[in-house]
């Protein structure tokens, strides 16, 4: 699950860093794939809250599909029902494959690791890594690229032999 940020200043800093972090992470993945025996593809996924049952997922999916063809009255009822159910958030995975081996890497999790100090997946309290912001309050692209490069290299170094 994405971290929850309630402080507006932290939110602004995180918002400023996330897209550049994503760009640098994907670029560094491309560089690693160029020299790796692993092949990579990208996949849009839905991320559900931990503990969401398969039945609930199926219900939400069915209701979202029904919403597309519902009358205005039906749509209102469907929205009221959906408001009471857990909703997934969009995710983006790198799917790595080498022979019979497959590994999935959550790209947003990698971006969180770049942007937040001591980020731990699933732990909502985060602190923006302000070393990625220069004295003028802009993104420090060199530092951001170095952090993304090191993180992506660690991911590839941990892949099975």
> Do 39 and 56 share a structural domain?
no
- Domain termination residue (choose one: 28, 62, 87): 87
> Do 22 and 56 share a structural domain?
no
Instruction: For residue range 118-159, list pLDDT tens digits in order.
Output: 888 766 778 889 999 999 999 999 999 999 999 999 999 999
Q: Is the separation of the CB atoms in 66 and 78 below 8 Å?
A: yes
Domain total for the chain?
A: 2
Give the pLDDT confidence score for residue 9 in this predicted structure. Answer: 83
> Do 110 and 157 share a structural domain?
yes
Containing structural domain, residue 83: 49-87
The pTM of the full predicted model, rounded to 2 decimals, is: 0.79
Instruction: For residue range 76-121, list pLDDT tens digits in order.
Output: 999 999 999 999 988 899 999 999 999 999 999 999 999 998 888 7
> Do 100 and 142 share a structural domain?
yes
Instruction: For residue range 5-54, list pLDDT tens digits in order.
Output: 777 888 888 889 999 999 999 999 999 999 999 999 999 998 888 899 99
> Do 41 and 114 share a structural domain?
yes
Q: Is the separation of the CB atoms in 86 and 52 below 8 Å?
A: yes
How many C-beta neighbours within 10 Å does residue 1 have?
12
Give start and end residues of each alpha helix (H) in 68-106: 72-83
> Do 76 and 28 share a structural domain?
no
> Do 64 and 112 share a structural domain?
no
Give the pLDDT confidence score for residue 1 in this predicted structure. Answer: 61
Give the pLDDT confidence score for residue 127 in this predicted structure. Answer: 85
């Amino acid at each position: 699950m994405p971290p929850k940020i309630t402080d507006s200043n932290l939110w602004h800093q995180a918002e400023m860093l996330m897209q550049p972090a994503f760009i640098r992470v994907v670029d560094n993945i491309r560089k690693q794939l160029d020299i790796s025996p692993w092949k990579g593809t990208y996949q849009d996924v839905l991320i559900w809250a931990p503990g969401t049952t398969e039945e609930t997922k199926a219900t939400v999916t069915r209701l979202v599909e029904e919403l597309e063809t519902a009358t205005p009255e039906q749509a209102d009822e469907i929205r009221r029902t959906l408001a009471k159910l857990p909703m997934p958030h969009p995710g983006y995975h790198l799917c790595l494959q080498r022979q019979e081996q497959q590994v999935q890497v959550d790209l947003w999790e990698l971006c969180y690791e770049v942007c937040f100090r001591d980020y731990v997946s699933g732990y909502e309290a985060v602190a923006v890594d302000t070393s990625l912001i220069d004295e003028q309050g802009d993104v420090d692209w060199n530092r951001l690229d170095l952090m993304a490069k090191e993180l992506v290299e660690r991911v590839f170094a941990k892949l099975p032999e």
